Amino acid sequence: MIDKHESIIIKTISRILAPFVQLYALYVIMHGHTSPGGGFQGGVILGASFILLAIAFGIDEVKERFAERILTTFTSMGVFIYGFIGFVCFVLGANFLDYGILPVVEPRGMGMLGIEIGVGITVMAVMVSIFYDLSTYE
């Protein structure tokens, strides 16, 4: 079990650092269209911020904030968003993942953004849940 890290420096730095890492991760997810990045890269950075907190403050501390149950729901929800967008296009008449049919102002761009968000959520939740599983070794 990764227990609390003694040195105060690490704890304070990681406490300060985490929100900015998460902010940057959201930026990377959202700006997948114009700048290099996208769902996967952003999701991994977001997951890394939680793992940073877990290493600095110990697993149990972060488990209260991000319980395993919520993690599993996040994992399934992200991919479900992806599949759901595909299904919406399918029900509206086009082929499975054809965003041109979506009733949105800029269908293709919005469709892709929705997918990037879904992928980002899944990758973040997967990274943290694999980290939980691999580190809880009795």
- The site for another protein (CB under 8 A) is made up of 32-36, 38-40, 67-69, 72-73, 75-80, 82-84, 86-87, 90, 93-100, 106, 108-109, 111-112, 115-116, 118-119, 122-123, 125-126, 129-130, 133-134, 136-137
Confirm if 58 and 11 have CB atoms less than 8 A apart.
no
Nearest residue (CB) to another protein, 24 versus 40: 40
Nearer residue to another protein within complex by CB, 19 or 100: 100
CA distance 126 to 44: 9
Report the SS3 class of residue 58.
Answer: coil
Tell me whether residue 16 or residue 137 sits nearer to another protein (CB atom).
137
Confirm if 102 and 89 have CB atoms less than 8 A apart: yes
State the virtual CA torsion across 110, 99, 127, 53 in degrees, nearest 10: 10
Smallest gap from residue 61 Cβ to another protein (A): 15
Least separation in angstroms between residue 50's CB and another protein is: 14
Residue closer to another protein, measured from CB, 19 or 83: 83
DSSP class of residue 8?
Answer: H
